[in-house]
Amino acid sequence: MDCHFLLLPPMLTAHALRKTLPGTPPRVLFDTLELQVGAGECVAIVGESGSGKSTLLNCLAGLEPVDGGRIEVGGQRIEGLDEDAMARLRRSAYGFVFQAFHILPHLSLVQNVALPLWLLRTDDKEAEARARTMLTRVGLGTRADDPPHELSGGEMQRVAIARALVHRPRLVLADEPTGNLDPVRASDVLDLLLEQIRDSEAAGVLVTHSRVAARRADRVLELGVQGLVDITERA
């Protein structure tokens, strides 16, 4: 394990995080959860189905409220932010990769990748140039102007990775990014995702069911009611 992250202040800090589900009695998904991810570091989160992995990612993205604890992204607290402020923060500081890709079919690849830059009101020319560079980095440089419906699932996810990183976010969240891909593609895409996150010095949190995939991350954490347990050695 590279140790230099530990010397820098962490990109993402979650402290004493608590999430319960409404119901009688309320079900505790996790309590006193601690998580720190440094710049250029990637952690994989594994756990049983229904253990709350997706919920944790949503909490980290400010899309779901937590019942206690503190979340800091790049030194900024997010739990108190209102919805619009959180949306603005997501524009600049977050990148997402989804299991279902969510590439807009009516935009070309380069436009899809440029979407976050448009949101940040980057100059059009610069946005396009950066999107093209990003597409080249994920190996789709020659197809930048194609419509998305011609792509395979693996290629779609590469576009999604390019979109998640084009605006140099501080934190990249990926929920089962390889869930819809066959094993060979999955491993390619995963390599690419990890490599890009490290290159852009972002913090990466990815949720996966695949042990093989998890092993490529810098750390592997298992989610349980007590929080996250580091199982890197066992994995």
Ligand X SMILES: Nc1ncnc2c1ncn2[C@@H]1O[C@H](COP(=O)(O)OP(=O)(O)OP(=O)(O)O)[C@@H](O)[C@H]1O
Q: Looking at residues 32 to 51 of the shown chain, list those that interact with other proteins (rule: CB under 8 A).
A: none
Stretch binding ligand X (CB under 6 A), from 44-52, 68-76, 84-92, 108-116: 44-52
For position 154 contacting other proteins by CB under 8 A, the verdict is no
For position 54 contacting Mg ion by CB under 5 A, the verdict is yes
Q: Give 54 or 187: the residue with its C-beta nearer to ligand X.
A: 54
Q: Give 98 or 231: the residue with its C-beta nearer to other proteins.
A: 98
Q: Looking at residues 52 to 91 of the shown chain, list those that interact with ligand X (rule: CB under 6 A).
A: 52-55
Structure tokens at 7: 């010397």
Question: What is the distance between the alpha carbons of residues 43 and 36, in angstroms, rounded to a whole number?
Answer: 9
Task: Read off the amino acid at residue 226.
Answer: Q
- Cis, peptide link before residue 25, omega less than 30° from 0: yes
Question: What is the distance between the alpha carbons of residues 131 and 178, in angstroms, rounded to a whole number?
Answer: 22
CA dihedral over 103, 108, 109, 112, signed as positive or negative: negative
Residue with tokens 């119901």: 23
Q: Give 109 or 193: the residue with its C-beta nearer to Mg ion.
A: 193
Torsion from C-alpha of 22, 58, 205, 88, nearest 10 degrees: -150
Structure tokens at 4: 């230099």
For position 10 contacting ligand X by CB under 6 A, the verdict is no
Stretch binding other proteins (CB under 8 A), from 9-17, 31-39, 95-103, 202-210: 95-103
What is the chain's Cα-based Rg?
A: 17
* Residue of 39, 43, 61, 109 interacting with other proteins (CB under 8 A): 61
Residue 21 binding: pick among Mg ion, other proteins, ligand X, none (C-beta 5-8 Å cut-off by kind):
ligand X
Residue ranges in contact with Mg ion by CB under 5 A: 54
Residue ranges in contact with ligand X by CB under 6 A: 21, 29, 47, 49-55
